[in-house]
């Protein structure tokens, strides 16, 4: 299969890219689309045969459920149940953060094929703020299942070229919406009666969520996001996290690369380096993270040394991704 890239630079290009994606999705095909977090691989969420193609294309294990993206709010209670004691919290979260990078896990309804939720009794819902994604899902007129458009366990794509690297020859279309804004996947929460449990950290921080309810960490035995495997976002090059990069000496003859956060001086024997932000800005760091990891991964290095970031605000989500990238 030849994978086409549809440009969206002009209004005409954008309109024809949207029509092309919608036509594919309506015929039960899959297409890669930009969202404000990372690129997604979309299919009709109400068609099991379409959704199977996502799992096959990504080589994703069937136990890992997909996020369902909604065209409008009216769809929430068509695919999920809002329990009355949780309704005030859920409605406040939706009013504040949708459309945007927050995914909400709720009890599911039967209309959704069980392959989408990997057999779970819950469903993960999101409404994208991306102009292209939201136009496609509205024109499609129903929910779209869309995980990140990478092969399973690998670095999520934040540009059309990354999707091409991951899925070229496996999908018919990538809609190119340029680099994504946030650069890391949505925050996943399970809201219950006054309590918000974070299943995956992301662009919406604990600090922001804490204004809406009591924050709970995942206790042992509590449900977790099945896709949150310790080894994920994996570059092919071994990656280690350094609390103090000034202490790292590159072994003789080894090709090391650095993924930097601070402006500490570091050994000149690093072959390659990337700086997540030149101004200490965590939003910029998150937006650069996966692209820079990919670039370092392509540099023929023996090891990538990533500098630890402060674990506050967005730093929590960035460190979560780095730890998973470091897990071998
Ligand atoms: O930003 C994002 O969320 C991107 C864009 C494309 O929307 N999507 C994304 O999807 O990151 P994916 O499939 O790569 O990650 C989905 C995460 C997984 O960790 C999965 O386990 C979790 O959401 N998830 C899905 N359904 C769930 C459920 N019912 N209960 C708990 N976790 C769930
Ligand atoms: Mg993913």
Can you spell out the DSSP letters for 100-151? SSEEEEEEBPTTS-TTTTTT-SEEEEE----HHHHHHHHHHTS-EE--BSS-
Mean pLDDT throughout 83-112? 97
pLDDT digit string (tens) for 28-81? Answer: 999 999 999 999 999 999 999 999 999 999 999 999 999 999 999 999 999 999
Count CB-CB contacts under 10 A for residue 148: 29
- Rounded to an integer, what distance in angstroms lies between the CA atom of residue 65 and that of residue 228? 11
CA of 146 to the centre of ligand 2 (A): 9
Beginning with the edge strand found earlier in the chain, give each strand of the sheet holding 187-192 in spatial order.
4-6, 173-175, 31-33, 40-44, 144-145, 67-69, 122-126, 102-107, 187-192, 195-200, 214-216
Indicate if the pLDDT at residue 293 is higher than 50. Answer: yes
163 and 40 in contact (C-beta within 8 Å)? Answer: no
pLDDT digit string (tens) for 106-147? Answer: 999 999 999 999 999 999 999 999 999 999 999 999 999 999
The single residue listed with the structure tokens 């030849």 is 2
- For the CA of 128, the closest atom of ligand 1 is 7
| Prediction pTM value | 0.95
**Ligand with an atom nearest the CA of residue 228:** 1
Of 107, 182, 227, the residue with max ligand 1 atoms within 8 A of its CB, to mutate for a pocket test, comes to: 227
156 and 141 in contact (C-beta within 8 Å)? Answer: no
CA of 85 to the centre of ligand 1 (A): 25
**% of the chain at pLDDT higher than 70:** 96
The pLDDT value given to residue 227: 61
The pLDDT value given to residue 234: 81
Mean pLDDT of the chain: 95
- Rounded to an integer, what distance in angstroms lies between the CA atom of residue 44 and that of residue 143? 7
Indicate if the pLDDT at residue 217 is higher than 80. Answer: no
Q: Which residues line ligand 1 (CB under 6 A)?
A: 35, 37-38, 40, 64-67, 101, 103, 105, 117, 120, 122-124, 126, 146-148, 185-186, 188, 199-200, 225-228
pLDDT digit string (tens) for 219-248? Answer: 544 446 666 667 777 899 999 999 999 899
- Rounded to an integer, what distance in angstroms lies between the CA atom of residue 326 and that of residue 328? 6
The pLDDT value given to residue 225: 67
The pLDDT value given to residue 222: 46
Q: How far is CA 166 from the centre of its chain?
A: 15
Residue from 68, 295, 33 nearest 163 by CA: 33
Per-residue pLDDT band at 250 (split at 50, 70, 90): very high
304 Cβ partners below 8 Å, 6+ apart? 235, 237, 238, 239, 240, 256, 257, 258, 259, 293, 296, 297
Mean pLDDT throughout 160-173? 98
CA of 28 to the centre of ligand 2 (A): 21
The pLDDT value given to residue 128: 98
CA of 65 to the centre of ligand 1 (A): 7
- Tokens matching residue 168: 């070229």
97 and 115 in contact (C-beta within 8 Å)? Answer: no
Of 108, 121, 143, 148, the residue with max ligand 1 atoms within 8 A of its CB, to mutate for a pocket test, comes to: 148
- Tokens matching residue 145: 């299942």
- For the CA of 123, the closest atom of ligand 1 is 29
Of 32, 65, 99, 228, the residue with max ligand 1 atoms within 8 A of its CB, to mutate for a pocket test, comes to: 65
CA of 206 to the centre of ligand 1 (A): 18
**Ligand with an atom nearest the CA of residue 104:** 1
The pLDDT value given to residue 219: 56
Q: Which domains does the chain have, with CATH numbers?
A: 4-217 (3.90.870.10), 239-326 (3.40.50.11030)
**Ligand with an atom nearest the CA of residue 64:** 1
* Surface-to-core class of residue 59, CB atoms within 10 Å of its CB (0-12 exposed, 13-18 middle, 19+ buried): exposed
Per-residue pLDDT band at 264 (split at 50, 70, 90): confident
Per-residue pLDDT band at 164 (split at 50, 70, 90): very high
- For the CA of 39, the closest atom of ligand 1 is 6
* Surface-to-core class of residue 229, CB atoms within 10 Å of its CB (0-12 exposed, 13-18 middle, 19+ buried): middle
Indicate if the pLDDT at residue 303 is higher than 70. Answer: yes
Distances (CA, A) of 307 to 116, 186, 244: 37, 23, 7
Backbone angles phi, psi at 308, to 5 degrees: -65, 145
Of 145, 218, 223, 226, the residue with max ligand 1 atoms within 8 A of its CB, to mutate for a pocket test, comes to: 226
- Rounded to an integer, what distance in angstroms lies between the CA atom of residue 52 and that of residue 31? 13
């Amino acid at each position: 299969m030849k994978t086409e890239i549809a440009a969206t630079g002009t209004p005409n290009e954008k309109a024809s890219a949207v029509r092309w994606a919608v036509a594919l999705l309506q015929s039960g095909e899959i297409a890669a689309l930009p969202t404000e977090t990372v690129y997604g691989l979309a299919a009709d969420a109400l068609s099991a045969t379409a959704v199977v193609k996502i799992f096959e294309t990504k080589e994703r294990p069937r136990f890992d459920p997909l996020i369902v993206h909604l065209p409008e709010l009216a769809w929430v209670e068509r695919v999920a149940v809002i329990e009355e004691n949780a309704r005030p919290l859920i409605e406040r979260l939706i009013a504040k953060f949708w459309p945007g990078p927050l995914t909400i896990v709720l009890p599911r309804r039967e209309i959704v094929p069980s392959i989408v939720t990997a057999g779970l009794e819950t469903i993960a819902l999101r409404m994208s703020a991306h102009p292209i994604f939201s136009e496609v899902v509205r024109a499609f007129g129903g929910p779209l299942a869309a995980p990140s458009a990478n092969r399973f366990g690998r670095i999520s794509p934040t540009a059309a070229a990354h999707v091409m690297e991951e899925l070229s020859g496996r999908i018919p279309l990538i809609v190119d919406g340029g680099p994504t804004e946030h650069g890391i996947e949505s925050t996943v929460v399970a809201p219950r009666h006054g309590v918000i449990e974070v299943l995956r950290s992301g662009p919406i921080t604990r600090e922001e969520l804490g204004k809406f309810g009591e924050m709970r960490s995942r206790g042992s035995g509590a449900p977790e996001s099945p896709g949150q495997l310790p080894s994920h976002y994996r570059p092919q090059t071994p990656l280690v996290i350094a609390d103090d990069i000034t202490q790292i000496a590159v072994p003789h003859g080894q090709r090391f690369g650095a993924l930097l956060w601070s402006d500490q001086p570091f050994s000149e024997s690093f072959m390659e380096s990337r700086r997540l932000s030149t101004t200490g800005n965590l939003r910029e760091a998150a937006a650069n993270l996966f692209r820079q990891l990919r670039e370092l991964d392509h540099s023929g290095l023996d090891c990538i040394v990533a500098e630890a970031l402060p674990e506050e605000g967005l730093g929590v989500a960035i460190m979560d991704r780095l730890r998973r990238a470091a897990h071998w």
